[in-house]
Structure 1
């Protein structure tokens, strides 16, 4: 009896249509041909050739692919999720690169920006000619963004921003930053507002964060704003308060629901291939019961995660998804994916800790995915609040 692949076991392709399959396969081929041969080196060197990659990914059409107009493809949320899965099957840093560009920076401008802001930035960002970042998290405020200390104050007709943001993907290579700041209520503004900040504005700097052991094939930065003076036209006119940044985060979290499964799938396929070739006591490692039970359990969790992702994708396309449902997907699929990566590492033994195989790289990356865009604990409390009606955050 010949072995079946994981997608065949679950008949995954029966759940997607021809157009979705074609785009998924196109992104997968791009990843295998253009990214996979280099990604272990990028991870080891803690370097990502962001500018060159941006142009290639722009030509591929994945930046803002789920947005309408301005050079964006206007594809379905499910199609975007499948693309995220294929990008993260190569490396979480690459999916994050695309996600921050499209689901955070571009989405914020697309959803809440003025016509002038959209015209200026979105076509260039879709083409990969301009890169964006999203400044919400601060050194002391991650899970509680309402406590942010970055402030924007009126000075005549201008706004002046002061503060710092932390753990900002693409920050050091971005041309534009969407920065969220607390405004002065006494002067007529309402709470937290978003600003479109060209990164060449005087007073803006973005030192890169180094010495990371996770997401090494990704640019991570601090944003420092020192008397950054912006015109009134820099403010995002379409939203006030935390609704703006949180809606953007839901877009990014949705991509993770699919993306994390790509990393898990790559680990599991690697472990199955390795176990079939590796002989232990004159027998293939995959022929032992304990190996097969590990593989079976991991495949089951991967399949369940994909079914959940597809359900959420269809709900999002129908316009009926709720934030707590995205939390269900992010919590489950990242938690199971990191467990799959760790278990696959045990099958590879000592070989599992080398960059010759992708498993330890995925496991390290998923440590970051587990806590960014909302920690597991925050998603648990979001789900708990939805089920009980009680807010346990405070």
Structure 2
């Protein structure tokens, strides 16, 4: 790797590491990125508008190819945008080189110089800017102490574990003291246990330094645990941007509801209709009562009947009759056959079937249920979701309302 590798920030500030200096506001206005090859056009980011506030930790999450990494690389200046503006602290940096934007980026690959020690790797961004040796050493010591890698300063990358290399890569970004940090799936190369540990450390670090941070991941657990807000993307557009719990409890549409949550929300094509003077949600395999609270949230008239998609999360389904007990159906409960029991340690995931329709529930390990059992299943009517059949937009999401 050449020592002439381009850097992604300008001259660092002089405040001490971890001094709670605020980061810079980032605003994307009508951001568009189109890849064109002859007559072929691929819209990677479609007219995006979002503001990341000073010191906020915003996470872009979504499936592969949704546009999240292109968005991040556009902010960094590694992609030339097709249209729109990128403002950092009110300055439009679109068209400026990466090193002129005062940002630092941490990549999925650690990109450490193999012939340098940890100290030399971390000090390099300062050295190429002419920062004096004493100042460089002070900044590296402060950063290493913050990241708890002081004992590693004399080692080379080949002598470090994956988690240690990631800390060094993070430290190299921190010493620059940029206005904004950008993270491109930085934990994806780590094993599951270390990813959880590093998530905790990133949370602690952000609380301490208070810098604006924009993070990209396909991992919903990372998004939910790290972000002050999360921006769920699909097909080059933001589907919803909100605090993590709000996205989980009140998804804006069926895509968000299905993407956030594991196992994912159960979905049923339904007809909301009248049945003997009462309103029901009819899945064709079973019918559930239409809760009174829905009348205040929905514009469509149940008396006329309408098609929709009914959703309920696995944790909002209760198994109320167990092996050896009699099973029966009531207004609020159905019987179903257990097809699969997945023992996950703290929970059991059940896949069940009712007249050809499958759905999942989460139960405690103490639940006495086995494959092939017939059980009584209740649905928590305070947690019902309904989505528009045509565009997937949320119609209702729980009795607490919109």
TM-score w.r.t. length of structure 1: 0.24
Pair member with larger Rg? 2
TM-score w.r.t. length of structure 2: 0.24
Between Structure 1 and Structure 2, the one with more strand by share is: 2
Between Structure 1 and Structure 2, the one with more helix by share is: 1
